Chain A
Amino acid sequence: MGLTLTWLSVIILIPLAGLFLKSFELSLDQFWGILTSRRTLNALKISFGLAFAAAIVNLVMGMIIVWALVRYRFPGRRIFDAIVDIPFALPTAVAGVALTSLFAQKGWLGAPLAELGIKVAFTPLGIFIAMIFIGIPFVVRTVQPVLIDLDAEIEEAAASLGANRWHTVSKVILPSLIPALLTGFALAFARAVGEYGSVIFIAGNLPNVSEIAPLLIVIRLSEFRYADATAIAVVMLVASFLIIFAVNRLQRWAQTRTPAY
């Protein structure tokens, strides 16, 4: 107990408290000024907005991938299952370089897309793709065990009661997966918001267009504007707390509706 608290304090709480203390060096007006500057606002908007969109995509695609991995037997299934973990294991900078070269104008995917008039690398679209890339395993790995545990009998029960496939999926299977889906979504979202390594290579980092909040923090630090950096950091921190809190509430709500046997 004591050890747990000490460890948590040293590792998590003290650095966070330091962050808040640092930001108190600013007056409220200065703090507000930094946050409402166009560049900060745009960076936050890009980070949160694209992360949210990427998490939604991951939610849908993750669900489809999980379904295929759990419910179908196909050659190479185990290999695909292992591939899901690559974004977890790959150093983010490596992922960033790989994605950038792939989507650059002469890259394997970038060239055909360029012919269609779609530019991916060095645009917000690139950020979006990098965020999808690093977020997908979170959804897959949280939902997968729950779907495996889901008894095939409840689907048979639904069918024998006259439910068609759509009713079985929408009224029986999805509601059982909701807590896991929410968790996966939140994890993917949180990871995408804070993602740095894999994004900055592909982002192009144009202020106000494709500059993410974590990068802006680094830029401010390198300009020795520590207070500015911490102000942005505090906002991200608070936002993250709010997300975690909201997800916790949602999960609690979903769980009281589906207590385990």
Chain B
Amino acid sequence: MIEVKNIVKKFGAFAALDHVDLKVANGELLALLGPSGSGKTTLLRIIAGLDWPDAGEVSFDGENALAHGASERHVGFVFQHYALFRHMTVFENVAFGLRVQPRAVRKDEAAIRARVKELLDLVQLDWLSSRYPSQLSGGQRQRIALARALAIEPRILLLDEPFGALDAKVRKELRQWLRSLHHEINVTSIFVTHDQEEALEVANRVVVMDKGRIVQIGTPGDVYDNPATAFVHSFIGESIVLPVEVRDGCVRLGGKPLNIAADGVSSGPSKLFVRRHDMAIGPAGSGAFEGAVRHVRTFGPIQRAEVALSAGEGTTVIEIDAPRDRELQPGDIVSLHPRRYRIFAGQD
């Protein structure tokens, strides 16, 4: 188990990590998700021993990891830009970790060859073993980088935006591949990403970070369906956000009361979050909002409509996703009602 306790890391006056606690169970595939500057990469580098915290503890299976540098921690690290050794063949890149082991535990040449072959088979790139990194595509480079990191049989595998430099299609393939690879070798893995889709699709558990703090930890379903804060709701999945005011248990938009419960949010300016597909369309007068359809685009099973809400003094334009059982036309007056919604106090 990896345990991070009360980690603080400052770069000048900027707090990259602000009292972070995290426990990672053995065999987990964990995603650190957050916008850039949220501290996720810094946390990963501190676990790897590539950065040092100003305060706090890091332990692997109860053993203090901060007593050791990166080279003694047995941590596999995969970089966003691969960081392969350009002057070495693919084979030598993968073999590097085995060749630099202390003489006492170093494998003999035949064993090294067998191990590298096994790893190249694992990443399905055996046929590239005598090439140089410059002769490979981005996706291949990243798989070689992964094989190289696995060569030392790391106790944890850390991946820093592993698919960030790849194009969308390759990225999608590699996501599935990484998940099945993890299933196969079951090494405790943490990967950093700013792509919520990637985190939700690959990880068993997602850690959402913002401004140097962990704001929510949960399964992908959890963080999507039950976001802990307004930030998580807007960062994960697309949402309709409306500035509302809660007064005496009544939710108002532009001064006009909406026919929805305040869910115990205390009085004051708040934000109402609704997923696009959670807005139900009904006949006029039946829902919380009234609005005029402005524009409709249809693709696949849904139609995406722009609706101008008539809310008190101003109008607000929102986008909703509706099933295609009832065709919408520009100019239609519709009533919208949120099937699920969340209200968070505060306006920021």
Contacts and interface: CB of A to CB of B under 8 A. Distances in A.
A161 B96 contact: yes
A153 B83 contact: yes
Nearest to A254: B87
Contact of B134 (A161, A178, A261): A261
Contact of B87 (A153, A158, A161, A258): A258
B133 A156 contact: no
Given A160-B71, A172-B85, A260-B134, 7 more contacts: A151-B83, A157-B148, A161-B152, A163-B96, A163-B100, A167-B100, A176-B86
Interface stretch (B73-81, B190-198, B234-242): B73-81
B97 A153 contact: no
A261 B85 CA distance: 11
A71 interface: no
A157 to B, nearest CB: 4
A163 B85 CA distance: 13
Interface string A144-166: 00000001011011111111100
B87 A159 contact: no
A175 interface: yes
Contacts of A176: 85-87
Contacts of A117: none
A42 to B, nearest CB: 41
B101 A160 contact: no
A192 to B, nearest CB: 29
A159 B148 CA distance: 12
B134 A160 contact: no
Contacts of B84: 154, 157
B86 A161 contact: no
Given A157-B83, A163-B100, A259 B77 contact: no
B224 interface: no
A66 to B, nearest CB: 18
B170 interface: no
Interface string B283-303: 000000000000000000000
Interface in A183-240: none
Interface of B: 48-50, 69-77, 79, 81, 83-87, 96-97, 99-101, 132-135, 145, 148-149, 151-152
A78 interface: no
A171 interface: yes
Contacts of A260: 86, 134
A259 B101 CA distance: 27
18 contacts: A153-B81, A156-B83, A157-B148, A158-B85, A158-B96, A159-B70, A159-B71, A160-B50, A160-B71, A162-B72, A162-B74, A162-B97, A164-B71, A171-B99, A176-B85, A176-B86, A259-B86, A259-B135
Nearest to A259: B134
B81 A164 contact: no
B86 A162 contact: no
Contacts of B96: 158, 161, 163, 171
Contacts of A178: 87
Given A161-B152, A162-B152, A261-B133, A154 B85 contact: yes
A73 interface: no
Nearest to A177: B87
A159 B69 CA distance: 8
A260 B132 CA distance: 10
Nearest to A179: B87
A154 B151 contact: no
A176 B83 CA distance: 13
Nearest to A170: B100
Contact of A161 (B81, B100, B132, B135): B100
Contacts of B151: 161
Nearest to A165: B71
A251 to B, nearest CB: 13
A151 B79 CA distance: 12
Q: Which interface residue of A154, A157, A164, A167 has the most chain B CB atoms within 10 A?
A: A157
Contacts of B74: 162
Contacts of B152: 161-162
B100 A162 contact: yes
Nearest to A154: B83
Contacts of B77: 156-157, 160
A160 B149 contact: yes
B74 to A, nearest CB: 7
Contacts of A259: 86, 132, 134-135
B177 to A, nearest CB: 21
Interface string A239-261: 00000000000000000011111
